Structure 1
Amino acid sequence: MRVNVLQHAPNEGPGSIQDWCHEHNHEMFVYHPTDFGILPTIDETDLLVILGSPNSPNDKLDWIKNERVLIKQMLKANKPILGICFGSQQIAKTLGYEVLDAPAKEVGWAPVYLQDHTIENIPKKLTALHWHQQMSEIPEDAKLLFSSDLVKNQGYLLGNNVIGLQFHFEPKEDNVREIAINDGAYALENNDLHQTPQEIIAHGVPKENKDVMFVLLDYITK
């Protein structure tokens, strides 16, 4: 399987998604559309992973519009997609749903609660890394998958092969440090989780987050 990853920020990489690819002997290709303007074609994409971004899907930028063309093609072809944070919003935007300010700005670690049991072997409560202040509407045909205490729309399952997550299960310890030291100022501005970059790093990554990421990827590619 060829897994094509769209990475939009130098400090927000695939993390444990790369581990999943290696363990399953999949080929992973990482694209940087914000820097090089290059995207894969649908014919060379078996699984599309869309990572986070400091941009909003509402921004009028060519690479954002071009990504939605690819997403639309993937949806039409019924190929699996995982969208994380910005990526989740991009999928919803492609389907005609709004991306808007969330009720709270969440930056740091906070629990998310499972809302649907279609996918097995996911704990009812998990601690995820949040790094956002926008969210998308949940597509009408999708199932609400996760919620947090401050933001209801934290994740959705569309059909059996498209998942959007507003938060992050994919970062490993090194990834969290990279995110926090480079974008720590974002955590200090009107953050409703009231966590500093140092506190975010010190928290550590729950072991089950990687396990759940593997479960989600296994589900949409089965």
Structure 2
Amino acid sequence: MHIHLLQHGPDHEPARLTDWLTSMGHSYTVFHLYNGELTPPAGDSDALIVLDGPDGFVQAPPAWYKAESKLINRYLDGQKPLMGIGLGALWIADALGSIVAPGTYPETGWHTIQLAPESPFDLPEQFEAFMWHRYVFSLPDNALPCGGSEAAPLQGFSWDAGRVIGLLYHLEVTPKSVEPLFEHHALSAERHDFMQPEADIRQQPKRFDPLAALLDRLMCQWLRPAPA
């Protein structure tokens, strides 16, 4: 399969995703939309991954978002797999008619996900994931919840029998890929109940290791062969 990935900023890279795709024999193209690259046609790939991006893009989308929004809707109307992570999940949820708004608490660092009983994905009932978000979404119509955290009870959704996934939390990150977040994308909040200090995140790099197995399980279930 050939997968397109849409990148929205130099500090929000695919990280472990491209390594996984290569290891599984898939080809891919990363489109750096923030750097002037055009949004690809919907027919050029077997699946689409909409990556995370700057928090400010939720309220003030960039000029190229209009073309990206059309592409997201083309995938929603089609039969090919579509995944959104972070900002990408928010934009897919918005396209499905969900409410997107600031959450009660922003989340950074490591938080526990409780898998929703309705989730169609075979993942542990409880696992730790990396967070870096302020905005949340409501559950789209005809979607199933994929789990939540203490601060954000809805951390992900599955739509159209698992063909479409939106996740606020991150399984693709590595110690290297999160470093730019500390420097350029710090989240501000009046309350910091669920914002883990940067020093604590840096001091526990081995916490990133279990994410690889979780990502593998999720991707293998999501990236089914595209219909002929």
The question of a shared fold, defined as TM-score above 0.5 by the shorter chain, is answered with: yes
State the match for 2:147 in structure 1.
146
C-alpha distance in 2 between matches for 1:8 and 1:85: 11
C-alpha distance in 2 between matches for 1:187 and 1:10: 21
Give the superposed CA RMSD: 1.9
State the match for 1:202 in structure 2.
203
Secondary structure at the counterpart of residue 187 of structure 2:
helix
Amino acid at match of 1:25: G
**Change over 3 Å in CA distance of 1:130–1:187 after alignment to 2:** farther
Amino acid at match of 1:142: A
State the match for 2:45 in structure 1.
45
Any conservation in 2 of the 1:7–1:13 contact (CA below 8 Å)?
yes
C-alpha distance in 2 between matches for 1:147 and 1:188: 20
Alignment of 1:1-222 (within 5 A): 1-54=1-54, 55-115=56-116, 116-120=118-122, 122-159=123-160, 160-183=162-185, 185-186=186-187, 190-204=191-205, 205-222=207-224
Any conservation in 1 of the 2:106–2:187 contact (CA below 8 Å)?
no
Amino acid at match of 2:192: N
C-alpha distance in 2 between matches for 1:208 and 1:82: 21
Amino acid at match of 1:68: S
Any conservation in 2 of the 1:5–1:51 contact (CA below 8 Å)?
yes
Amino acid at match of 1:100: A
1:39 is displaced (CA, Å) by: 1.0
Range that drifts further, 34-43 or 75-84: 34-43
1:195 is displaced (CA, Å) by: 2.1
Amino acid at match of 2:12: E
Query: What do the CA deviations read for 1:157-190 (whole angstroms, capped 9, x no partner)?
Result: 112211110111110222133433443x437874
1:203 is displaced (CA, Å) by: 2.4
Secondary structure at the counterpart of residue 130 of structure 2:
strand
C-alpha distance in 1 between matches for 2:216 and 2:188: 28
Query: What do the CA deviations read for 1:49-82 (whole angstroms, capped 9, x no partner)?
Result: 1111113344243322221100110111121011
C-alpha distance in 2 between matches for 1:73 and 1:157: 17
1:112 is displaced (CA, Å) by: 1.0
**Change over 3 Å in CA distance of 1:191–1:8 after alignment to 2:** farther
Flag structure 2 segments of 5+ consecutive residues without an equivalent.
none
Paired residues in the alignment total 220
Query: What do the CA deviations read for 1:142-167 (whole angstroms, capped 9, x no partner)?
Result: 11001000111100111221111011
1:24 is displaced (CA, Å) by: 1.4
1:42 is displaced (CA, Å) by: 0.4
1:13 is displaced (CA, Å) by: 1.1
C-alpha distance in 2 between matches for 1:188 and 1:22: 38
Q: Identity rate of aligned residues, in percent?
A: 26
In the superposition, the TM-score normalised over structure 2's length comes to 0.89
1:37 is displaced (CA, Å) by: 4.5
**Change over 3 Å in CA distance of 1:194–1:99 after alignment to 2:** closer
